[in-house]
Structure 1
Amino acid sequence: MSLQTVGSQRLYRQIAEQVRALIAGGEFAAGSRLPAERDLARHLGVSRPSVREALIALEVEGLVEVRLGSGIYVRTRDGATRPARARAAANDWGPLELMRARELVEGEVAALAARHARKAQVAAMASALDRMREEAQAGVVPREGDEAFHNAIALACGNEVLSDTVRGYWHARSGPLSTRLGDYFESPASWNAALQEHDAVLDAIRDRDGTAARTAMHHHLQRAYNRYSASWRRAHSS
């Protein structure tokens, strides 16, 4: 008896497969513009963020290209055979879903850190923020300092499961889809805004105010989600 492994597929990948099949079947010819994100979402009966993740996956794979201020186009045969930046694994999380999960979990992590953090752990958070500023001032995307800041909060929350969960989020964020979305989103202005939001989180943790820490982290991740989405819309809107 020959059996194949049964696996689940992320929603955004199911959407990407449908669009890929339409391209292969000639519904969308090479060089043609894809329908607007909202139209694809309506026809497929899914959310616009899920469509957005699917389009990013197709772009990473080299099947479509984003033309700033114009739209998303099917690559020509030559373009479609260019090496992809990095193909996402079938079980990779969608970057926008990841942001929503982080908002829920890391808000509670920050609240716990406000209650449990030791002085040395608060100092580690402050050091990570200093590192972010140094990276930003040097013209480097401050991802290392950003990751260090969020992981320092997670380590201070007093729960190893939550700490491991936050580290898992950051591992997922290093995937090709999140990296590509970051290419649209990350800029000196976005990182300056993020630094101010991080300062608010750190201030609340220093004050041992769990409610304020939760609120500040929610605000930061909501704003980050909005910046990601707005940057993507600007990139391909006509």
Structure 2
Amino acid sequence: MLKRLEPFEREDPVSVLRNFISGGGYAPGDRLPAERELIVSLDMSRATLRKALDVLERDGTIWRHVGKGTFIASQGGPDGAAHLLELGRHLTPVKMTRARLCIEPAIAREAAINASRESILTINTIKDRARNATSWADYEAEDDHLHRAIAVATDNPLLVGIFDQLNQVRRAVALGNVVRGSERPPENHSSFTEHERITAAIESRDPSGAEAAMRQHIASVSARLFGED
């Protein structure tokens, strides 16, 4: 039975959740209790819990699979994240792009083979949210979510863990190297069309098409942001 936390332990929901994970002896690949159990155990509202889970998902501590639950990532926690961020500070944009080209097209291919109907619905929902973003910050958050949803759609925890680590390094490389000239993505932002091609290939179970579309997307983003082909 899960332990109920005292009020003084609930000031910071993210810290409470981290402490629950570290104190529970969870190892990479372990599944956390269902949200309804965590809500009771941690004495949080569903909205507060989900915000805390979002933070841990973004920093690579956990990963979530629609219909299966929330899992501990392969290299979670602040120490692992700090190591990856430091690695990113010593990596050039072109080397980051080459790493992405080695990994993400293969992930898209696996997603086209293994994605569940729920995963495809999630991917399409996030793709539409990215297109409708009203600021670059919102767009970039949804873009992160989209690429991660594609990794989750592979139904392979190892690939999700690899993606999480790659994405943390990518964020560190982009920090300070990307300058936006507008408040929000323009209507003709090329990534919108590229996302459509990727998601359409995954939905139509076209592994080669998904792989090629992801490869073209990453090359296009690199050329646009860093001036590299």
TM-score, normalised with respect to structure 1: 0.54
CA offset digits 1:125-182 (Å, max 9, x no partner): 11111221222xx13331110011000010111322211111112212222x412222
- Structure 2 counterpart of 1:221, which letter? I
Tell me the secondary structure at the aligned position of residue 174 of structure 1.
Answer: helix
Paired with 1:216 and 1:134, the residues of 2 have a C-alpha distance of 21
Cα contact 1:132–1:146 (8 A) shared by 2: yes
For residue 195 of structure 1, report the CA deviation from its aligned partner: 1.3
Aligned residue for 1:151? 148
Segment drifting more, 89-98 vs 146-155: 89-98
For residue 190 of structure 1, report the CA deviation from its aligned partner: 9.5
The answer to whether the aligner puts 1:180 opposite 2:176 as a matched pair is: yes
CA offset digits 1:167-205 (Å, max 9, x no partner): 112212222x41222225887349821111011000000
Paired with 1:90 and 1:106, the residues of 2 have a C-alpha distance of 19
Paired with 2:117 and 2:132, the residues of 1 have a C-alpha distance of 23
Distance 1:120 1:160, change over 3 A: same
Paired with 1:121 and 1:222, the residues of 2 have a C-alpha distance of 25
Distance 1:152 1:208, change over 3 A: same
What is the number of equivalent residue pairs in this alignment?
A: 141
Runs of 4+ in 1 over 6 A off after TM superposition: none
Distance 1:109 1:190, change over 3 A: farther
Q: Calculate percent identity across the aligned residue pairs.
A: 23
5 Å-filtered alignment, 1:76-87, equals none
Distance 1:143 1:91, change over 3 A: closer
- Structure 2 counterpart of 1:163, which letter? V
Aligned CA RMSD, in angstroms, stands at 2.4
TM-score, normalised with respect to structure 2: 0.56
Paired with 1:145 and 1:98, the residues of 2 have a C-alpha distance of 20
* Greater C-alpha Rg: 1
Distance 1:91 1:225, change over 3 A: closer
Cα contact 1:124–1:152 (8 A) shared by 2: yes
Paired with 1:172 and 1:218, the residues of 2 have a C-alpha distance of 18
Distance 1:180 1:119, change over 3 A: same
Aligned residue for 1:107? 105
Which stretches in structure 1 are left out of the alignment for 5+ residues?
1-87, 233-238
- Structure 2 counterpart of 1:218, which letter? R
Tell me the secondary structure at the aligned position of residue 157 of structure 1.
Answer: coil
For residue 95 of structure 1, report the CA deviation from its aligned partner: 3.0
- Structure 1 counterpart of 2:195, which letter? H
